[in-house]
Chains A and B, each alone.
Chain A
Amino acid sequence: MAGMSESTLHTEAHPDTDLLRVSTAGSVDDGKSTLIGRLLYDTKSLFDDQLEAVERSSRQRGEAYLNLALVTDGLRAEREQNITIDVAYRFLATPRRKFIIADTPGHLQYTRNMVTGASTADLAVVLVDARKGVLTQSRRHGFIASLLRIPHVLVAVNKMDLVDYSEEVYGQIVREYGEFAQKLDVQSLTFVPISALQGDNVVEKSGSMPWYDGGTLLHHLETVNVGANRNLVDFRFPVQYVIRPHQDYRGFAGRLASGTLRPGEEVVVLPGNVASRVRSIDTPDGPLGEAAAGDSVVVTLEDEVDVSRGDMLVRRRNLPTVGHRLDAIVCWMHEKPLDRTTPYLLMHTTRQVQAFVAELDYRIDVDTLHREEARTLGLNDIGRVEITTAAPLFFDPYAQNRATGSFILVDPHTHATVAAGMIRGEPRELEEAPRTASPNVRWEEWNVPRAEREARNGHGAAVLWLTGLSGAGKSTIARAVERELFALGCRTMLLDGDQLRHGLCGDLGFGRDDRRENIRRAGEVARLFFESGAIVLCAFVSPFREDRDAVRALVPEGRFLEVFVDADLDTLRRRDTKGLYARAMEGEIPEFTGVSSPYEPPPAAELVLRTAEFPVAESVRAVLDGLRARGILPANRPG
C-alpha cells in the first residue's frame, strides 16, 4: 500500500475518549444520507477505497457530482431502489469523541426503525428541509425521540444553500419547531442551519451565514453532555449468568443496569427477597472498590443465596416495582397485528415471562399526536396498553430507568420480535370513593382574590364549556372566540380535549371511568384559570351530563356557561373531516361517541349553536353577545 506511512495524520489515536450514541432519521429528500456522508468526509473518516467506490457508483449512475449519499447505502436492494431499508450503524471518531450513528430511513417502516435506532441514542439529529419548513415527518421524529427519551434533540435545518442562506427562513423554522417541541419531553433542543451538500456548518463553520453565531453540528455533537440518561441512583443488577469455577466460588455475572455498588453494601435478591451483603465485585483486572451503571462485573455475596439468571439484585430501601401488571406504551413492529389472545413472550432485562396484552387503551397518531380508539395495533402503530404477565417482573418507569423500564414482545410461534415497550408503571385503578379534599389538607383562600384580578382586567372571569359530538365545531368556535377576546384585551385560556390528553390526562383512556376523570381534571384546571381571572374556553366532547354538571358545580353560579355545539349526526357523517365517523361505523373505533357510545345532550344549556345551519362567525357573535348579556364582558367594549 503506497503512501501509507507518509500520509498526513488526520486522526490522532486517543484510547480514552467519550462515546456518544446518535440516531438520525429522515429520508433521502431531507439530505440525511448526504449529511452523514458529509460528516464522514469532512472528518476524514472515509477511506480512499470507500471514496473510490462512491465515485465509481456516482459515475455509473450518471451523476455529475460526488454523491455523498451513496456512502451510506449498503444493501443491493437499497442501491437498486434508491432507498434505505434498515438501521445502519456508522462510526466516526474525532480527538474528543467516538460516535456511533444509528442511521434510520424515513420511508419504509419508519416508526419501527426509528424506534430501534432511538432506543440506544443519547442524541437525535432531526432533519428539516429549509425549503419545505417543518413537515409532519420532522415532527414525527421529534415525537419518537421524546417517546424513547433521547435527552438531546438537534434540529439540523438543511439545504440552507437553496434558500439563499436566509436568516428569516431559518428563524421561522426555529420558532415553529420550538413551539411544537414544547409538547414534547426533551431535555435539550438545539438548532443548526446547515447545508450538507456544501458543507456549511457541518464540520466547518460556514462563511455564508454570518448571522449565525452558534457552533457547527459536529461541535455540538462533540460537546453535548454524555450520559445524561445514565441513572446512577437506583441500583439494579439483573443477573445474566452464574459463574461457578469451583465449589468455593459462586459469582453472579451481569451489567449494572443503573446505580452504583460497593463491597460491604447490603443487597436484596428478587424475587426471593433474600438479603445479603456484597463480598466482592470481581473483574479479571482485579476487584473493584465501586462499580457503576454500565459496568460488566461479577458480584459475590457473603451468604449462600440461591440466585440464578433472571433474578435481580437491588437495595432494600430502593426497590423497583414488583408486579404482574404493566401500564406501557408499545410500538408494534410486525406485520402480524397485536392479538389479545396470544400469549407473547415478554423479554425484560434478563428475564423472560409469558404475557398477554390485557387492554388496549388507545393508539397514538404519530403525525398529529392525537389519541384514537383502536381495537388492535398494526405494524408501526404506537399505543397504550395494559399487560399481564405470568410471573412477576421487577421494573421501573422507563422515564426513570431505560434499562429496567423497557421490554420487547416476542411471537410464541415465529419467535419474531413483534413489539417494543416502555413501561409507565403499574396500571392505576380509579378509586370508587367520591373525590373530596385529600385528608389533612386545609383549604386556603386565594392570595389575590378573583374580584381584585377582575377589577384590574376590566372584565369578569368565566368558564365557557363547549360540548358536542366529535367534528361538530367545538374547537373551531372556541379558537375563534378566544382570538376575538384576546383582540379585545381580555385574559383568556383555551383548554382542548386533545391537548390535555397529551399531558395532564396522558394516563387516561376512553372507557367510562377514564372519560369521567378526564373531564374532572379539565374542570379543575379550568377552575384554576378562572380564579386567575381568565375567560376559560373548554372544548370537550364530554358526552355525559353528570360529568359536565360536576364541573359546573366548581364555578360560582352565572359564571359557568354551557355551550351546546349542536350538529346532527347525519351532517357530521357527511362532513367527517377526519374520517373518524366512517371508521367508527366500520367498527374500527370502539366507544365512539354518537356511534357506539351515547351522547347526552344538555337539557338546559346557556347557549345552543347549530353549526350545520349557521357559519362560524355567527356562532362567535352569539357567544360574545352571551358574555355581554351576563356582564362578563363590559357592554361598552366594541366587538
Chain B
Amino acid sequence: MSSTPYVSPSSEPERHEPRPSYRRSHLAQLESEAVYVMREAAGQFERPVLLFSGGKDSIVMVHLARKAFWPGRFPFPLLHIDTGHNFPETIEFRDRLAESVGCELLVRYVQDSIDRGRCQEEPGPNPSRNTLQTVTLLDALRELRADAAFGGGRRDEEKARAKERFFSHRDPFGQWDPKNQRPELWNVFNGRKNRGEHFRVFPLSNWTELDVWQYIAQEGIALPDLYFAHEREVVRRDGVLLALGEHNRLLPGETAERLRIRCRTVGDLTCTGVWESDATTLDEIIREVASARVTERGGRSDDRRSETAMEDRKKQGYF
C-alpha cells in the first residue's frame, strides 16, 4: 500500500491544471459512486464490517474505504472468513495490509465452525469449504451484531449478481429473497430494517472486471503476487487448472504440471482456477483482461456446479 500517495490535508495544496471541462472519466464516476455508497452505509448503519477475502476486489474496497473517510480512518473493521484453504500468499498479504492501514482485522475460522458442529466437511478428497463459509459468516455477523457487511461483489460477475442492489436486504436468517427485493431508485438507499436483519452493501456493483484492473493501475494499488504470472505446480481437473497445495492434492490418475500461471480471482485453493499467462505487469494484465474470452468466474468450480449455483448460495447468505 506504500505505493499509494496519500496527501496529508495539512501539506501544500497541489497545483491543479485549470479543468478543461466538467467531464469525468468512467473510473472517476465509479469511484465517486462507490465512495458515496460507503459513506451512505456508514451514515445509516451502526456497526458495519467490511468483508475481506484477500482478493483484488476486497483490496480495492479497502482502498476506497480509506479514500471515502480520509483524512479520518474508515469507521469499520475488516472481517475475514478464513476457510483454512487459502493460498498462503493471501494470508500474508492480508496481515500486512491491515497493519499498514492500521485498521482492525477480525478473522473467523471455518475450522472452528466445523469443530463446534455448526457444519460438516464435504466427504471425499480435496473437500471444498466454499459453502461452509456461509455458516461461519452468518455466525460472525451475529456475534459482532453487525448490521451491514460491505462486499466487493459486482453485477458483471454472475447472472444472479446482476440483480443485486447496492443495499441488499437480508432476513434474520441471512437469506436473500431475489423475488422480493426493495426497489432502488436514484441514489436514495433504504437501509431501514428490523432487529436481527442485516444488509449487504456492494459499492462496486457497477464495476466490471476491467474497471477494477484499470482502477488498480490508475491508483497504484498493491496486490498479492498471485495475480501476476509466476511458475507453480498445477493440476488439470474438470477442464480447469488448479494450484496444488496442502489442501489440494493430486487425485489418483492425475499428474502435476509446472506452468506459468496467474490468478484472475483469488479464492480457496480447491476451487480457484488459475490461468496460463505471461502477464507480469498491470498493463499486461489489463490487455489480457480486455481480450479475455472467458469470464473470471469461468474458472471457479464453485459456480460450475449448476446453472443457478450462485443464486442458490446467495439465497443462503453467501457473500
Q: Which of A288-296, A434-442, A457-465, A498-506 contacts B (4 or more CB under 8 A)?
A: A288-296
Could you write out 7 A-B pairs with CB less than 8 Å apart? A73-B159, A85-B179, A86-B178, A253-B68, A286-B16, A333-B183, A408-B185
- Residues of A that sit less than 8 Å from B by CB: 1-5, 7-13, 15-19, 47-50, 53, 57, 73-77, 79, 85-91, 93, 97-98, 100, 112-113, 115-116, 119-120, 227, 230, 232, 240-241, 243-245, 249, 251, 253-255, 260, 280, 282-290, 292-296, 298, 309, 333, 345, 347-350, 402-403, 406-408, 410, 415-417, 420
A89 and B205 within 8 A (CB): yes
Q: Most chain-A Cβ atoms within 10 A of its Cβ — which of B14, B39, B66, B193? A: B39
Q: Inside 8 A of B218's CB, which chain A residues have their CB?
A: 15
A239 nearest CB neighbor, chain B only: B43
B29 and A19 within 8 A (CB): yes
Q: Inside 8 A of A333's CB, which chain B residues have their CB?
A: 183
- With A90-B162, A243-B71, A284-B66 known as contacts, the answer to whether A15 contacts B27 (CB < 8 A) is yes
Taking a contact as CB atoms closer than 8 A, the residue among A15, A253, A289, A417 that contacts B190 in the complex is A417
Q: Most chain-B Cβ atoms within 10 A of its Cβ — which of A18, A115, A402? A: A18
A296 and B181 within 8 A (CB): no
- Cα A347 to Cα B43 in complex, Å, equals 13
Known: A2-B276, A115-B185. 11 other contacts (CB 8 A): A7-B293, A9-B291, A13-B214, A89-B162, A90-B162, A91-B156, A93-B208, A120-B187, A241-B43, A245-B72, A417-B185
A253 and B69 within 8 A (CB): yes
Q: Most chain-B Cβ atoms within 10 A of its Cβ — which of A47, A349, A407? A: A47
Taking a contact as CB atoms closer than 8 A, the residue among B40, B183, B290 that contacts A113 in the complex is B183
- With A50-B295, A282-B71, A286-B13 known as contacts, the answer to whether A348 contacts B183 (CB < 8 A) is no
The 7 lowest CB-CB distance pairs between A and B, nearest first, are A415-B192, A49-B298, A74-B159, A286-B14, A245-B72, A19-B26, A119-B185
- Cα A407 to Cα B72 in complex, Å, equals 30
B273 nearest CB neighbor, chain A only: A1
Q: Most chain-A Cβ atoms within 10 A of its Cβ — which of B7, B9, B67? A: B9
Q: Inside 8 A of B68's CB, which chain A residues have their CB?
A: 253, 296
A91 and B290 within 8 A (CB): no
- Residues of B that sit less than 8 Å from A by CB: 6-7, 9, 13-14, 16, 18-19, 22-27, 29-33, 35-36, 39-40, 42-43, 66-73, 155-156, 159-160, 162-163, 178-179, 181-188, 190, 192-194, 205-206, 208, 210-211, 213-214, 217-218, 241, 273, 275-278, 286-295, 298-299, 307-308, 311-312
- With A47-B298, A91-B156, A420-B185 known as contacts, the answer to whether A240 contacts B190 (CB < 8 A) is no
- With A57-B307, A294-B32 known as contacts, the answer to whether A4 contacts B208 (CB < 8 A) is no
- With A112-B183, A245-B73, A294-B32 known as contacts, the answer to whether A240 contacts B159 (CB < 8 A) is no
A415 and B194 within 8 A (CB): yes
B211 nearest CB neighbor, chain A only: A98
A345 and B291 within 8 A (CB): no
Q: Inside 8 A of B205's CB, which chain A residues have their CB?
A: 89
B190 and A48 within 8 A (CB): no
B183 nearest CB neighbor, chain A only: A116
- Cα A16 to Cα B21 in complex, Å, equals 14
A345 and B192 within 8 A (CB): yes
Q: Inside 8 A of B193's CB, which chain A residues have their CB?
A: 415
- Cα A243 to Cα B9 in complex, Å, equals 12
Q: Most chain-B Cβ atoms within 10 A of its Cβ — which of A4, A86, A115? A: A4
B188 and A408 within 8 A (CB): yes
B185 and A406 within 8 A (CB): yes
- Cα A113 to Cα B163 in complex, Å, equals 12
- With A89-B205, A244-B72 known as contacts, the answer to whether A9 contacts B290 (CB < 8 A) is yes
B190 and A75 within 8 A (CB): no
- Cα A360 to Cα B278 in complex, Å, equals 65
Q: Inside 8 A of A112's CB, which chain B residues have their CB?
A: 183
- Cα A79 to Cα B307 in complex, Å, equals 10
A287 and B14 within 8 A (CB): yes
- Cα A1 to Cα B289 in complex, Å, equals 12
Q: Most chain-A Cβ atoms within 10 A of its Cβ — which of B43, B205, B206, B208? A: B43
- Cα A298 to Cα B24 in complex, Å, equals 18
- Cα A439 to Cα B66 in complex, Å, equals 60
Query: A488 → chain B, closest Cβ, in Å?
Result: 52
- With A5-B277, A249-B9 known as contacts, the answer to whether A11 contacts B291 (CB < 8 A) is yes
B181 nearest CB neighbor, chain A only: A86
Q: Inside 8 A of B308's CB, which chain A residues have their CB?
A: 75-76, 79
- With A10-B291, A91-B156, A289-B16 known as contacts, the answer to whether A240 contacts B214 (CB < 8 A) is no
Query: A67 → chain B, closest Cβ, in Å?
Result: 14
Q: Inside 8 A of B29's CB, which chain A residues have their CB?
A: 19, 294
Q: Inside 8 A of B9's CB, which chain A residues have their CB?
A: 249, 251, 280, 282, 287
Q: Inside 8 A of B278's CB, which chain A residues have their CB?
A: 5
- With A4-B292, A12-B290, A13-B289 known as contacts, the answer to whether A89 contacts B155 (CB < 8 A) is yes
- Cα A289 to Cα B186 in complex, Å, equals 28
B163 and A18 within 8 A (CB): no
Q: Inside 8 A of A243's CB, which chain B residues have their CB?
A: 69-72
- With A48-B293, A406-B186 known as contacts, the answer to whether A293 contacts B72 (CB < 8 A) is no
- Cα A195 to Cα B183 in complex, Å, equals 32
Query: B82 → chain A, closest Cβ, in Å?
Result: 28
A4 and B188 within 8 A (CB): no
- Cα A31 to Cα B224 in complex, Å, equals 44
Q: Inside 8 A of A9's CB, which chain B residues have their CB?
A: 287, 290-291
B7 and A284 within 8 A (CB): yes
Query: B290 → chain A, closest Cβ, in Å?
Result: 4
Q: Inside 8 A of A11's CB, which chain B residues have their CB?
A: 210, 290-291
Q: Inside 8 A of B23's CB, which chain A residues have their CB?
A: 18, 227
Q: Most chain-A Cβ atoms within 10 A of its Cβ — which of B23, B33, B159, B298? A: B159
Query: A159 → chain B, closest Cβ, in Å?
Result: 25
Q: Inside 8 A of B241's CB, which chain A residues have their CB?
A: 1
- With A1-B299, A309-B43 known as contacts, the answer to whether A91 contacts B155 (CB < 8 A) is yes
Query: A228 → chain B, closest Cβ, in Å?
Result: 13
Q: Inside 8 A of B292's CB, which chain A residues have their CB?
A: 4, 7, 47
Q: Inside 8 A of B36's CB, which chain A residues have their CB?
A: 240, 255, 296
- Cα A285 to Cα B33 in complex, Å, equals 16
A74 and B25 within 8 A (CB): no
Taking a contact as CB atoms closer than 8 A, the residue among A16, A86, A89, A403 that contacts B27 in the complex is A16
A7 and B291 within 8 A (CB): yes
Query: B299 → chain A, closest Cβ, in Å?
Result: 7
- Cα A16 to Cα B241 in complex, Å, equals 34
Q: Inside 8 A of A89's CB, which chain B residues have their CB?
A: 155, 162-163, 205-206
- Cα A18 to Cα B22 in complex, Å, equals 12
Q: Inside 8 A of A415's CB, which chain B residues have their CB?
A: 190, 192-194
